[in-house]
Amino acid sequence: MTDSSCQVVRTLDVIGEKWSLLIIRNALRGQTKYSEFRESLGAPTDILTSRLAKLVESGVLEKRAYREPGDRERASYHLTERGQALRVVIAAMMQWGNEYNPAPQGAASLLVDTDGATVELAYVGSSGAVLDRGEVLIAPGPAASTQWAPIGAIARG
Amino acid sequence: MTDSSCQVVRTLDVIGEKWSLLIIRNALRGQTKYSEFRESLGAPTDILTSRLAKLVESGVLEKRAYREPGDRERASYHLTERGQALRVVIAAMMQWGNEYNPAPQGAASLLVDTDGATVELAYVGSSGAVLDRGEVLIAPGPAASTQWAPIGAIARG
């Protein structure tokens, strides 16, 4: 990739490979066992093993040993705080999908609070007020590596 | 992919291929011309052409013709409303990256309002109150296709 200070590139380095984000999605649904990931994702086992190892290496999942009675020791995978925080990326994809690419059969997942009430992902300004999406833009930061378009040309909406 | 009602899978179908999300990132920065995408991304030209075509096909970009004085007609690419709305996915990745995988040289991009003040992506409940991330979870929706873990086991944080 071309600019390693870009947070989008850096995040893609952690979760951008096929299956990685779906492993995280399933972990957020409460799955921890290799067999659960394998059965629900249908990913090839060598790929699944490699993605789980990479997510452990990057601190998104923590590997633990468990043993069921009469069985051999197996590994389970648990989201770290860093991994839990990826819920915001999954939530953004769910929200965009619900609005702009809904499935005919309805939503497979919902973002809810602990009472089951609907939650939305929204832009909040420094005053704590929720902003309209037309009031928000992505601007160059201190480490911007490339020349951006003039600020007036930056897409809004 | 295994379950096409899942909004994460459906969103990955649109933006999950390598380079697609970076094209959208650059379009949100104001780029529209093929030559701008090519120079700043460094993607192979055949891949770039194919990704741009797919994003046009899926209604994320709109292709327009333009002609500079004395030059031949060329194509430019503009985010549609559907494409603009993908800012939330980019913003989620930026925010996670800033907190959990920051670049040593600082942030390349910032999420700001029209006055340049910092904006955050936050979870907002139905009452309009900003929720702590520990109060939010992803739960099965009406079209959930697979058996999920018992709700008490769903990861929070």
CATH number, domain at A76?
Answer: 1.10.10.10
Residue reference for tokens 């002609």: B67
Beta pairing class for A61-67 and A73-79: antiparallel
A135: exposed, middle or buried (Cβ count in 10 Å: 0-12, 13-18, 19+): middle
B76 located within any domain: yes
CB contacts of B154 in chain A (<8 Å) are: 28-30
Q: Do A95 and B88 touch (CB under 8 A)?
A: yes
User: Could you tell me which residues come within 8 angstroms of residue A29 by beta carbon, excluding any fewer than 6 positions away?
Assistant: B138, B140, B148, B149, B154, B155
A153 located within any domain: no
Q: A interface mutation test: which of B13, B18, B29 has the most A CBs within 10 A?
A: B29
* Low pLDDT (below 70) residues in chain A: 1-3, 145-157
Domain range holding B21?
1-85
Per-residue pLDDT band for B153 (boundaries 50, 70, 90) equals: low
Q: Which of B116, B121, B146 is closest, CB to CB, to A88?
A: B121
B28 located within any domain: yes
B19 located within any domain: yes
Q: Which of B11, B113, B138 is closest, CB to CB, to A87?
A: B138
A111 located within any domain: no
List, for residues A104-123, the tens digit of each pLDDT value.
Answer: 888 889 999 999 999 999 99
Q: Do B79 and A2 touch (CB under 8 A)?
A: no
CB contacts of A122 in chain B (<8 Å) are: 121-124
A115 located within any domain: no
Q: Do B122 and A121 touch (CB under 8 A)?
A: yes
Per-residue pLDDT band for B1 (boundaries 50, 70, 90) equals: very low
B135: exposed, middle or buried (Cβ count in 10 Å: 0-12, 13-18, 19+): middle
d(CA B141, CA B66): 45
Distance from the Cα of B71 to chain A's closest Cα (Å) equals 22
B92 located within any domain: no
Joined together, the tokens standing for residue B117 give 């003040």
Q: Do A141 and B117 touch (CB under 8 A)?
A: no
d(CA B145, CA B88): 26
Number of domains present in the structure of chain B = 1
Q: What is the pLDDT of residue A9?
A: 87
A24 located within any domain: yes
Q: What is the pLDDT of residue B118?
A: 94
Q: What value of ipTM does the predicted structure carry?
A: 0.89
